[in-house]
């Protein structure tokens, strides 16, 4: 996944150049923190992998952390891995930039047009039926996020992913939260944080994540419900863990709660490539909460496949058929996807 994410950074730079505008990428760096020995081992593995791919890294002594992240209590931190070139940006601006650049290259984007059906002939996909009529194509790329499984089931393929709840909270500005500081990833607290609109954004993963049946995802996500708890249970469950690293947490005034579906697979890896047994259908989904970070790599890989070229990345870990036949509508299968989110160690 590292090369796919690095492609996104490269694409941001070339989009800024070709469109002549800044995408306001904030290269604040990222800090992975570990308090227990087993998490230290995980970080060492992460560091080795990143080094293999030429990513600049630094181990920071815990005593230096408050200078970088004033709200962070260094005492529980055993090791801290700093990746200075990491950053974040507004995903809407990135999506708009991809769209503008695609138009400049001759792509035609149809908005407010829904695909209702995959058109099939002799076991292969030959196009799509939309609210704007039929479109035929030698290759169809299915990248419909949480809605993908319903469409692919028309072609008889069960996408091995489920829409699992992702969520974060944004707290009001606080004297210990500077406008600019590294984002942090704290697997032991199942948490990540970053600065946002002058306050602190923090995401918490539940010990038991929740998902929905893909058939129940509405067209408008504002109408999607993950149940009655509206995140309060995960907030109270997660704050106890996060408070160890962020003692000022009880003082933070929560201003916003953001939630939505992220498509997770049982192994936390994407669903990217040709659909087994269905010619003409390429899949680019199951993004496991990293679809923005890896968007450049995913796009480049699927574009190469659609043009019958060799993708510039090893896509074997992402093969759509790697779990065998699955039923994405089966609650037992969804449990496996929920567990992948709960056990995730990255941000
Ligand atoms: C709260 C939250 C926080 C997140 N934080 C991060 C993060 O920090 N970093 C990160 O990398 N990722 C993050 N993610 C995950 C990221 O948003 C997803 O991985 C990414 O959006 C997946 O992209 P996608 O294109 O596969 O799906 P989507 O973004 O869901 O896009 C699918 C599109 O397909 C369209 N569509 C669906 N059905 C049809 C149809 N029948 N016809 C036409 N169009 C259709 C939809 O309208 C939608 O526009 C987060 C997600 C959530 C919910």
Q: How far is the CA of 164 from the centre of ligand 1 (A)?
A: 12
Q: Is the CB of 285 under 6 A from ligand 1?
A: yes
Between CA 113 and CA 118, with CA 116 as vertex, the angle to 5 degrees is: 115
pLDDT tens series, the chain, 347 aa: 999 999 999 999 999 999 999 999 999 999 999 999 999 999 999 999 999 999 999 999 999 999 999 999 999 999 999 999 999 999 999 999 999 999 999 999 999 999 999 999 998 999 999 999 999 999 999 999 999 999 999 999 999 999 999 999 999 999 999 999 999 999 999 999 999 988 999 999 998 999 999 999 999 999 998 887 778 888 888 888 999 999 999 999 999 999 999 999 999 999 999 999 999 999 999 999 999 999 999 999 999 999 999 999 999 999 999 999 999 999 999 999 999 999 876 66
140: alpha, beta or left? (left if phi > 0; alpha if psi -120 to 50)? beta
pLDDT at 313: 96
Nearest CA to ligand 1 atom 45: 144
* Closest C-alpha to 136, from 346, 327, 280, 20: 280
pLDDT at 234: 84
Q: How far is the CA of 32 from the centre of ligand 1 (A)?
A: 25
Q: Give the integer Cα–Cα distance in Å for 256 and 230.
A: 12
Q: How far is the CA of 59 from the centre of ligand 1 (A)?
A: 33
Nearest CA to ligand 1 atom 13: 289
- What are the tens digits of pLDDT across the range 100-149? 999 999 999 999 999 999 999 998 999 999 999 999 999 999 999 999 99
**pTM (two decimals):** 0.95
**Residue 146 CA: which ligand 1 atom is closest?**
30
Q: Is the CB of 145 under 6 A from ligand 1?
A: yes
Q: How far is the CA of 105 from the centre of ligand 1 (A)?
A: 23
Q: Give the integer Cα–Cα distance in Å for 197 and 107.
A: 34
Residues 6+ apart with CB under 8 A from 321: 275, 276
* Closest C-alpha to 311, from 274, 275, 280, 276: 274
User: In 3-state terms, what secondary structure has residue 183?
Assistant: strand
Q: Is the CB of 99 under 6 A from ligand 1?
A: no
Q: Tokens in use for 1?
A: 């996944």
**Residue 261 CA: which ligand 1 atom is closest?**
53
- What are the tens digits of pLDDT across the range 250-265? 999 999 999 999 999 9
Q: How far is the CA of 243 from the centre of ligand 1 (A)?
A: 30
Q: Is the CB of 305 under 6 A from ligand 1?
A: no
Q: How far is the CA of 77 from the centre of ligand 1 (A)?
A: 33
- What are the tens digits of pLDDT across the range 275-290? 999 999 999 999 999 9
Q: Is the CB of 291 under 6 A from ligand 1?
A: yes
**Residue 285 CA: which ligand 1 atom is closest?**
26
């Amino acid at each position: 996944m590292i090369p796919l994410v690095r492609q996104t950074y490269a694409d941001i730079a070339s989009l800024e150049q070709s469109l002549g505008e800044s995408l306001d990428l904030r290269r604040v760096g990222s800090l992975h923190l570990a308090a227990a020995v087993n998490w230290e081992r995980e970080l060492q593995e992460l560091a080795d992998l990143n080094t293999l791919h030429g990513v600049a890294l630094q181990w920071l002594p815990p005593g230096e952390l408050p200078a970088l992240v004033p709200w962070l209590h260094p005492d529980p931190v055993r090791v801290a891995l700093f990746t200075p070139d990491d950053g974040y940006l507004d995903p809407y601006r990135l999506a708009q930039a991809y769209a503008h650049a695609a138009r400049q290259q001759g792509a035609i984007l149809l908005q407010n047009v829904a695909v209702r059906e995959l058109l099939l002939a002799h076991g292969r996909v030959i196009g799509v039926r939309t609210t704007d009529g039929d479109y035929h194509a030698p290759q169809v790329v299915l990248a419909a996020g949480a809605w993908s499984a319903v469409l692919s089931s028309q072609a008889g393929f069960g996408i091995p992913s489920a829409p699992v709840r992702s969520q974060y909270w944004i707290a009001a500005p606080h004297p210990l939260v500077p406008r600019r500081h590294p984002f942090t990833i704290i697997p032991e607290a199942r948490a990540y944080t970053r600065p946002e609109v002058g306050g602190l954004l923090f995401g918490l993963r539940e010990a038991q994540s929740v998902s929905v049946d893909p058939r129940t995802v509405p067209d408008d996500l504002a109408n999607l419900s993950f149940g009655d708890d509206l995140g309060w249970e995960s907030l109270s469950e997660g704050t106890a863990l996060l408070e160890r690293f962020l003692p000022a947490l009880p003082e933070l005034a929560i201003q916003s709660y953001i939630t939505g579906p992220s498509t997770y697979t049982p192994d936390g890896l994407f669903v990217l490539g040709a659909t087994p047994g269905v010619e003409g259908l390429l899949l680019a989904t199951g993004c496991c909460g990293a679809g923005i970070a890896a968007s450049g790599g995913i796009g480049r890989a699927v574009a190469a496949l659609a043009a019958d070229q060799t993708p510039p990345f090893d896509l074997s870990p992402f093969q759509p058929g790697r779990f065998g036949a699955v039923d994405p509508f089966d609650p037992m299968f969804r449990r496996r996807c929920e567990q992948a989110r709960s056990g995730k160690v990255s941000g």
